[in-house]
Chains A and B, each alone.
Chain A
Amino acid sequence: MTFDWGVVDDFMPRFWDGVLITLQALALGTLIAFALGLVWAMAQRSELKWIRWPVTVVTEFIRNTPLLVQLFFLFYVVPEWGPSMSPLTTGIVGLGLHYSTYTAEVYRAGIDGVPTGQWEASTALSLSKGHTWKAVILPQAIRRVVPALGNYVIAMLKDSPMIAMIGALDMLGEARGFSNETFTTEALTFVGVAFIVIAYPASLLMRALERRLVLK
């Protein structure tokens, strides 16, 4: 069997549609995962039990159930009594929510790694809790965890094809559709390579960022 570039040519319009979906899901999913994970991590350090507790339960639950189940739940079950979202929006929310429970752990490790003395110095200077987080703790915690966060971006990219299961056709979803319709395989191979083409530079970018952020 030979690789027919003509087939790839035919696939290109749909490929770009898929790339657009993949990149949107990845970028917005990452944004949610990074922001929400931080919220979880800070909530888990709250002095109030009624904040700490539910957050722990919810994040443990999400982390320990499959992403695919969560996507189905968001897409088919939630609309029965709540808002219904487009496939792409559902996919973004699902990916972001799922990965936020992992980034929360990463942040938690980063926050725990900031020496107690930093909190004590902040107290001694009467800095408010909020300002201590913003100016002292998080800048130190986040620098430490950028590499680990980066790994989850790559992991999310690799999980992103799951959103095709609820109808948000990412590049793999498009390739699968195209291949089924044309009885060819080139599109699937092409997309496989496309994942590397996106993931590898992304990991290089993360490494560069890591070097820049390491505390002098």
Chain B
Amino acid sequence: MSSSKNETENPAVDGSELIRFDKVTKRYGSNVVLDQLDFSVNSGKHITLIGPSGSGKTTILRALMTLVKPEEGTIKVSGQYLFHEEKDGKLVDAGESHIREVRKNIGMVFQQFNLFPNMKVLRNITEAPVHVLGLDKDEADERARELLELVGLTEHLDKYPSQLSGGQQQRVAIARALAMRPQILLLDEVTSALDPELVAGVLDLLRDIARSTDITMLCVTHEMGFARDISDDVLMFNEGKVIESGAPEKIFSEPEHERTREFLSAVL
């Protein structure tokens, strides 16, 4: 992460700024979840967001996925405003089609998998590539089969989600997100709903993906070992703000902030 404030407009090239939050505030009633939050993520980085529950980590992912709309501030993805458009030099609320266009760069994996129970595994993966990206059926099928091989579920493509274990469902959800070839992958506590014996498999898969692709990852997790393994940077959140950030070795071994030390001693 770089918290530099210079306003250079870089389109997405490797290593350049891909995500920027600028004074983003999100409230639920009187509860401020994100408080004038500034941060940016460079392309290809794997970022882990840690912090106590309610500190705003998940809200960041949800705002990027346009599932919640911040009241104030701007978010940029690949140099484009996510919720705004520029008209006559002024920022105005963006229309649905603009939001959808920017959002196509982003994929998300949820804590509760959220697979479509009315579709078989294969169609769960092909549905969006066919209907959003306009791939033809064969192309999408092929892409889905490759991804199912990657996540180790080739033999299950003809099953319904309910016939799979939680870990298998989460692998399908990962394949589904990757099928859109997003630049950014958001992982929202993806192992929290899994039985303990299934966690390792999913984390191993994500490690593989982190290593073998140049996809930018933002990851909210309570698995500190995993965070240490895959992260280029760890961001410690507290009360809607980043209070500390840096390489995982630094954050986990010599945290500077008192709150970070407390948090880590509680979870490690």
Binding site for B on A (CB under 8 A): 115, 117-118, 120-121, 123-129, 131, 135-136, 139-140, 143, 215-216
Contacts and interface: CB of A to CB of B under 8 A. Distances in A.
B167 interface: no
Nearest to A139: B118
Given A120-B110, A135-B127, A215-B118, A125 B163 contact: no
Contacts of A118: 114, 116
A143 B118 CA distance: 10
B66 interface: yes
A121 B114 contact: yes
Size range of the interface on B? 20 to 34
Contacts of B131: 127-128, 131, 135
A135 B119 CA distance: 9
Contact of A117 (B100, B112, B127): B112
A125 B180 contact: yes
A213 B134 CA distance: 30
Given A215-B118, A216-B160, 11 more contacts: A115-B112, A121-B115, A123-B65, A123-B66, A124-B67, A125-B180, A126-B180, A127-B132, A131-B131, A135-B127, A215-B162
Nearest to B103: A126
B104 interface: yes
A216 B163 contact: yes
Given A215-B162, A216-B162, A124 B116 contact: no
A215 to B, nearest CB: 6
B117 interface: yes
Most buried by B among A115, A125, A136, A143: A125
Nearest to B100: A126
Interface SS majority for chain A = helix
Contact of A127 (B106, B108, B118, B127): B127
Given A123-B67, A124-B107, A125-B176, A136 B116 contact: yes
Question: Sorted from nearest, which 7 A-B pairs have the closest CB atoms?
Answer: A125-B128, A121-B114, A117-B114, A124-B108, A139-B118, A126-B132, A126-B104
Interface string B91-115: 0000010001001101110101011
A126 B97 CA distance: 10
A120 B127 contact: no
A180 B176 CA distance: 69
A203 B17 CA distance: 62
Interface in B115-146: 115-119, 127-128, 131-132
B177 interface: yes
A131 B112 CA distance: 22
A20 B163 CA distance: 46
A125 B127 contact: yes
Contacts of B108: 124
A124 to B, nearest CB: 4
A121 B115 CA distance: 7
A136 B114 contact: no
15 contacts: A115-B112, A117-B112, A121-B114, A121-B116, A124-B107, A125-B107, A125-B132, A125-B177, A125-B180, A126-B180, A135-B119, A215-B117, A215-B118, A215-B162, A216-B160
B126 to A, nearest CB: 11
Contact of B177 (A123, A124, A216): A124
